[in-house]
Amino acid sequence: MAVTTTQEVRLRAPVLFDLDETLDCGQCFRFSPTGDGAWRGTAGGHTAVLRLTGGTLFITEEGRPAETAFWRRYLDLDRDYAAIRDGFLQDERLAACMRYAPGIRVLRQPAWEALLSFILSQNNHVPRIKGLVQRLCDGFGPLLPSGERDYPAPQTLAALTEEALAPLRAGWRAAYLLDAARRVADGSLDLVQIQRLPIEEARIALQQIRGVGPKVAECVLLYGMGRLEAFPLDVWMKRAMRTLFPGLTPADFGPYAGIAQQYIFHYCRRHPLEVA
């Protein structure tokens, strides 16, 4: 029989937190607007509708008792963004970027989910990535009490073949998913261990996976491993660095470079830079 459990909890939302900016900026691919201002999505085995009204975050979790601890962590609600932004205000250019998305936050997604998502993201745009992730979960992931399907477990994916993944329509990325899954399943790739390695070593470890290069590795570190010093560099960000911050390297932004990157990237999307 269908489980219809839904529970709502309320949290006092921190300042500098906005759902639209955070959930629709290319960090995650399983959240959709409900049409009335809220967002619904699944992550880490949890399905919820999130609504931010005034200073209160309403979380309605489906199919299981609401678990605020998970969402606090996922949305990174306990981090003091005001303090981090104070540091960024020293740079007028960065301050300008921040004004375009003052409430954006770096999500803390499960590492495995981020790895799958950003393998699929390569040479694709967000609408198609969302479709790929959707088909990956619906086709191969376990059914959750909410009725949605979670990301497939590494062992599940590792047992499959490229032919089995054909309905995914992922192109050459299907082989990359399988390589990642097999490495995690056979223990040769330990995401928990990589998470606490010095970042240079973590980068190298992740790039052992076929289909994981500098950009994907950086996204996994930043969005899936809480490594806020990571700094994904795509073509837009490279251009932004050249035109807005000539001479600077990602490391120059400090231990929260990844958050700075998020402000800059959002700024670039809404305010395309002149092609030098």
Catalytic residues: 215
Dihedral of alpha carbons 92, 94, 99, 103, sign: negative
**In whole angstroms, what is the distance from residue 50 CA to residue 162 CA?**
36
Amino acid at the residue 53:
T
* Cβ count near 33 (within 10 Å): 14
Choices 61-69, 82-90, 91-99, 259-267; region in contact with DNA by CB under 7 A: 259-267
**Interface with DNA includes 115 (CB under 7 A)?**
no
Looking at residues 26 to 65 of the shown chain, list those that interact with DNA (rule: CB under 7 A).
26-27
Looking at residues 204 to 233 of the shown chain, list those that interact with DNA (rule: CB under 7 A).
207, 209-217, 219, 232-233
Q: How far is the CB of 168 from DNA (least distance, A)?
A: 8
Nearer to DNA, 66 or 240 (CB): 240
Residues belonging to the chain? 276
From candidates 25, 57, 115, 241, binder to DNA by CB under 7 A? 25
Q: How far is the CB of 74 from DNA (least distance, A)?
A: 16
Q: How far is the CB of 21 from DNA (least distance, A)?
A: 11
| Crossing angle between the packed helical segments 126-140 and 111-121, to the nearest 10 degrees | 130
Nearer to DNA, 7 or 122 (CB): 122
How many chain residues are in contact with DNA, going by CB under 7 A? 38
Contact (CB, 8 A) for 236 and 229: no
First to last CA, the chain: 60
Using only C-alpha atoms, the chain has a radius of gyration, in whole angstroms, of 19
Summarize as ranges the residues that interact with DNA (CB under 7 A): 25-27, 121-129, 131, 166, 169-172, 207, 209-217, 219, 232-237, 261-262, 265
